[in-house]
Amino acid sequence: MKALSILLSLVFFTVNGHAQSKTVEVLNQTYCLGVISCTPSTTLEIELPENTVRWFYTVTATKSPQKAASVRRNPSIYQVFPDLLTKRKFRKKDPQPVYPGDGVCSVYLLKNKSDTEKFMVAGGAYFFYGEYSRRNVPASGMIIDDPSLCRGTQYIGLENSRAFTESFNMYAVLTVIAMTEDPPE
């Protein structure tokens, strides 16, 4: 009887002691980057939900607004990060989105909102987190699990670095998902 009581107590604490985690779609939007009826770059404020423990983004660049609409309707983030749907351990490598993109853009996780006018290196100091940013990629996915970057407002900069040398717009589809955990009761 004592063993059964200990076992039931253990099961109770195991079941009730785990944090409840869920995924929250924060953003799934298309941005036009170029000089024809667009701007070459844009900065986005990403408001993370409370209790975010990690967040993810994918960006896909395409020259076609129709392809961008298709990518937005069918975000590849759940295929890029299948662990979002399970409790498995997250990989640290940089995964590749399912749709590789047929254009290029740069995506930056900015350090401050005041850094929005310049994504480049100035005076040897980066205005963005290099480990969470990518330059001139057709598509990229990123896991951000640094606790200092998993709360409040974060800033993502998107840039078409070829806007002034090529005569077409780039359409970047940005999807952001946050993983939140409610504290155990």
Looking up residue 168, the CATH number of its domain turns out to be 2.60.120.680
User: What does pTM read for this prediction?
Assistant: 0.77
What is the identity of the amino acid at 49?
P
- Is the pLDDT at 6 greater than 50? The verdict is no
Q: How many domains does the chain have?
A: 1
Assess if residue 152 is contained within a domain.
yes
- Is the pLDDT at 123 greater than 70? The verdict is no
Q: What tokens does 130 get?
A: 């290099």
Assess if residue 2 is contained within a domain.
no
- Is the pLDDT at 74 greater than 60? The verdict is yes
Assess if residue 5 is contained within a domain.
no
Would you state the pLDDT for residue 178? 92
Q: What tokens does 76 get?
A: 């590849």
Distance between CA atoms of 147 and 66, rounded to whole angstroms? 37
Assess if residue 122 is contained within a domain.
yes
131-175 pLDDT per residue, tens: 888 888 888 888 898 999 999 999 999 988 888 888 789 999 999
Assess if residue 70 is contained within a domain.
yes
Q: Which helix (H) or strand (E) holds 3?
A: helix 2-17
Rounded to the nearest integer, the mean pLDDT of the chain is 76
Assess if residue 8 is contained within a domain.
no
Instruction: Tell me which of 1 and 161 has the higher pLDDT.
Output: 161
Would you state the pLDDT for residue 52? 94
Give the end-to-end CA distance of the chain in Å, rounded to a whole number.
27
- Is the pLDDT at 9 greater than 70? The verdict is no
Would you state the pLDDT for residue 98? 53
Distance between CA atoms of 51 and 58, rounded to whole angstroms? 21
Q: What is the mean pLDDT of residues 110-121?
A: 65
Give the pLDDT band of residue 127 (cuts 50, 70, 90): confident
Distance between CA atoms of 102 and 170, rounded to whole angstroms? 9
What is the 3-class SS of 38-94, one letter each residue?
CECEEEEEEECCCCEEEEEEEEEEECCHHHHHHHHHCCCHHHHCHHHHCCCCCCCCC
Would you state the pLDDT for residue 114? 67
Distance between CA atoms of 102 and 87, rounded to whole angstroms? 33
Furthest-apart CA atoms within the chain: distance in Å? 79
- Is the pLDDT at 177 greater than 60? The verdict is yes
Assess if residue 43 is contained within a domain.
yes
11-25, 46-60, 124-138: least confident range: 11-25
Give the pLDDT band of residue 27 (cuts 50, 70, 90): very high
Domain that holds residue 39: 19-182
For residue 117, the 8-state DSSP code is: G
Assess if residue 11 is contained within a domain.
no
108 contacts 23 by C-beta, under 8 angstroms = no
- Is the pLDDT at 72 greater than 90? The verdict is no
